Amino acid sequence: MIRRWREIERWIENGAVAGRTSRYPLLSLGEVLVARRETVQVDGTLGDWQAITIKFSGEVLPRERAEAFKGAMFAAYPGDLTFSKIDARNGAVGLIPDSIPKAVVTSEYPVFAPKPDKLRAAYLHHLLRAEHFKADLQRKASGTSGRKRVTPEGFLSLEVPVPGLDAQDALIATYTEALTRAAQLEQEADAIERTGWQAFEAALGVAAPPPLPDRPVFVARFKDVERWSHESILRSSTGGVAPQSTWPVARLGDVIADLENGWSPKCHEHPAREGKWGVLKLGAVSFGTFDHAENKELPSSLKPRPEYEVMADDVLISRANVARYVGACAYVESTPPQLLLCDKIFRVRFHANGQLLPRFLAEAMKLRPVREHIESRLTGTSPTMKNISKPALLDIRFPLPDLDMQQSLVDAIVLSRASATAKRIEAATLRQSAWATFEAALFTAPDEPHACAATSSSTTPRGMGS
């Protein structure tokens, strides 16, 4: 049987809608939204009005643009829904936030207000992010492949589950409670990490930095401002950045054998596939933890250099990057085979039976005096690529306790980070569970049992108790 493409599209769309069920009434958006067509005449400036942009995530943000605004625009207020006709299918649908009390949009952004006796703005906000809604919205786009648009009429014809107002309030309350608990867990994780790091510094006797003077006035050469942070310049002008500790202070070059950097041949843009060699990128160490996925595959035409292969227990230090990431240091807990060091990353060579534990060095490189030393020794004129030389890194000084104390401090900070990570995982799981519960309460497949009522305790994700 031969069918026209538009008939196939319609069959697919109708089939998808027919397969959608809900325990709540399915109403078209045209039944629960009312168009807002309030004209705002603009001539050059907006005054109290604020232009907006809509991200594909649905976030609505203020928009700045250089050219003057002219002609008729349209008003939108907090709680109003608006969407981009051209980008709605990509997710550019959102609600005006309370932070933008008077928004204006062009005719490319239709504006609708929820009917107060039908729809809560908070419920609508989450409904717009539901996968079923986004899938249906994509099917409403029409036009050529590169310029498909969603018309106001197509948007308003979308059918969505509309519980009663009390049920909407209950769904949102349950979901919000879960998000609040997840945010608390993340705050607890941050506090655990912060406390662990403060304990590390305190055990080394590294004093907290003295407060900077209020409204300081100082003179610095422009090239120094480019090379240093303003804070480092201020600290240097008020007494310097030499580390002070209750333990002996060691110079890096005196307690390691060497710093070696690797090899940066022309590589493929994609990460190394299984069985292939890869070369690390700077991103493998930039954030203070080793990320083996940050690599590029070595072309098969080039012979790998196994002497540069990264191994477990290595300590890697970036020698180039934007200023805040130069000197970033990562300990390699474990790594896949066949990853090579690049020439913009140093590997620390330790003395056999030396007095410095690799993992302790990786933590000591994060100490404030060390970071200030690095910032003060940066070179390079480009703001996006600064460098630090091998001699400058070897001249770093840091507190060096005995090996037993180093191990004890490392164990403590690793434990605190593991505890923080567990809380962040719990927070992420809670968010996922809460969202799955929200969607399951609205949409069910024909063969699935209906979701329980929003007010039922069975819909509350684990960990969402009051």
Q: Give all domains of the chain, ordered by start, each with its CATH number.
A: 22-162 (3.90.220.20), 164-206+408-466 (no CATH), 210-242+248-400 (3.90.220.20)
pLDDT band at 366 (very low <50, low <70, confident <90, very high): very high
Q: Are 113 and 81 in contact (CB under 8 A)?
A: yes
pLDDT value, residue 451: 42
Among residues 437, 431, 438, the alpha carbon closest in space to that of 185 is found at 431
Residue 433 pLDDT more than 60? yes
Asked if pLDDT for residue 227 goes beyond 50, the answer is: no
Give the long-range contacts of residues 132-136, CB within 8 A, separation 24 or more: 132/20, 132/439, 132/442, 132/443, 133/158, 133/160, 134/91, 135/16, 136/16, 136/17, 136/20
pLDDT at 453 over 60: no
Model confidence over 6-62: pLDDT tens digits?
A: 444 443 444 444 456 888 999 999 999 999 999 988 776 778 889 999 999 999 999
Residue 444 has pLDDT above 90, yes or no: no
Tokens of 28: 């078209």
* Mean pLDDT within 386-411: 96
pLDDT of residue 15: 44
The residue among 6 and 424 whose pLDDT is bigger is 424
80-103 burial string, b = 16+ CB within 10 Å, else e? Answer: bbbbbbebbbbbbbbbbbeebeeb
Q: What pLDDT was estimated at residue 242?
A: 45
- The per-residue pLDDT for 207 is 62
The pTM assigned to this predicted structure is 0.74
Element (H, E) at 258: strand 258-261
Beta bridge partners of 198: none
Query: Is residue 124 very low, low, confident or very high in pLDDT (cuts 50, 70, 90)?
Result: very high
- Residue 1, pLDDT > 70, answer no
User: What is the pLDDT of the chain when averaged over all its residues?
Assistant: 85
Q: What is the pLDDT of residue 159?
A: 93
C-alpha dist (Å) from residue 189 to 93, 193, 194, 195, 442: 33, 6, 9, 10, 32
Q: Cβ distance 185 to 428 under 8 Å?
A: no
Rounded average pLDDT over 394-401:
96
> CA 108, 112, 114 angle in degrees (round to 5)?
160
Q: In the structure, what pLDDT confidence band is assigned to residue 68 with cuts at 50, 70 and 90? A: low
Tell me: pLDDT of 217 over 70: no
pLDDT tens-digit readout, 317-365: 999 999 999 999 999 999 999 999 999 999 999 999 999 999 999 999 9
Averaged pLDDT, 107-129 = 94
pLDDT bucket at 213, cuts 50 / 70 / 90: low
**pLDDT above 80: residue 235:** no
What local confidence, expressed as pLDDT, does residue 126 receive?
Answer: 92
| pLDDT score recorded for residue 198 | 95
Flag whether pLDDT at 239 surpasses 50. no
pLDDT of residue 107 exceeding 60, the answer is yes
Q: What residue type is 284 in one-letter code?
A: A
Classify residue 452 as exposed, middle or buried by CB count within 10 Å of its CB (0-12, 13-18, 19+).
Answer: middle
Of 123, 158, 153, nearest in space to 137 by CA: 158
Q: Output the CA angle 253-314-201, nearest 5 degrees.
A: 65
328 class by beta-carbon count within 10 Å (0-12 exposed, 13-18 middle, 19+ buried): buried
- Average pLDDT rounded to a whole number, residues 365-393: 92
Lowest mean pLDDT among 19-23, 45-49, 255-259, 367-371: 19-23
Does 289 score more than 70 pLDDT?
yes
